[in-house]
Amino acid sequence: MPVFAVIGHRARTDGSWSFNDMPGGAGRMDVLCRAVNTSFFLSHDLRRDVVCYLVLRGEPGPEKTIRFEGDRVRYLSPDERSAGSLIKKALELVAGPEFRESTKGVSVREGGLARLLGDHSFALLDEAGEDVRGAGELPEAYLLSDHLNFDEDEQALVQDLPRYSVSPRSLHADHTITVLLNELDRRIP
């Protein structure tokens, strides 16, 4: 069960943004949409064993966590607007302390990274980490950032996590997920 979590540093926490301006007014929501795409889509199939968390830290706050579950998700197409539409529906639901489902397989709750780190044993995907290709058994859960680096508070939370790298170059979060899943696919007996 691969688990991904992507931090959206400026991603809006309410639904008051337009599908026509996901990179701008929505706070780089396009980055999170593409991470959902690469977490789940196979050719004519979905990765039913994957869970993808989006941590939204933008305005108006407070932060929220959205969870996409591959074994339950419906109405998800590969295009950015499709994931965006499910995110918007999740943000329009009042978030409580526990996950509540907004559409099938998509849920939302209050809180962000600090709480999420208690739910899974995350590793950090980071250029300076151990190359996944040469690594022994790989972890189940992976944490990534959007186009911005982890801030000081996040750094304090993640500094002791194991670190893995997928590439000698610095990649976008969605591309990093694709490469990591390729490594995991190749390890399936």
Which residues make up the interface to its own copies (CB under 8 A)?
19-20, 22-23, 30-31, 34, 37-38, 41-45, 77-82, 133, 147, 166-172, 175, 178-179, 182, 185-186, 188
Residue 57 CB, shortest distance to its own copies, in Å, is 19
Nearer to its own copies, 102 or 176 (CB): 176
Residue 18 or 159: the one with the smaller Cβ distance to its own copies is 18
CB of 65: closest distance to its own copies in angstroms? 23
CA dist 145 and 186 (Å) reads 25
Give the CA angle between residues 17, 5, 173 to the nearest 5°: 75
50 versus 95: smaller Cβ distance to its own copies: 50
Query: For the residues of 61-125, what is the DSSP string, one character each?
Result: -S-EEEEEETTT--S--SSHHHHHHHHHHHHHSPP-SS-EEEETTEEEEE--HHHHTTTS-EEEE
- Six-digit token pair at 11? 């991603």
Query: Which of 94, 188 has the CB closer to its own copies?
Result: 188
Closest distance to its own copies from the beta carbon of 119 (Å) = 27
Nearer to its own copies, 117 or 184 (CB): 184
- CB of 144 vs its own copies, minimal distance in Å: 11
20/128 with CB nearer its own copies: 20
Q: C-beta of 43: minimal distance to its own copies in Å?
A: 4
CB of residue 167 to its own copies, shortest distance in Å:
5
Tell how far CA 127 is from the center of its chain. 18
Nearest partner of 181 among 47, 68, 70, 54, judged by Cα: 47
Q: What is the DSSP string of 120-170?
A: S-EEEEEEEEEETTT-SSPPSEEEEE-SS---HHHHHHHTTS-EEES-SS-
Q: For residues 105 and 82, is the Cβ–Cβ distance under 8 A? A: no
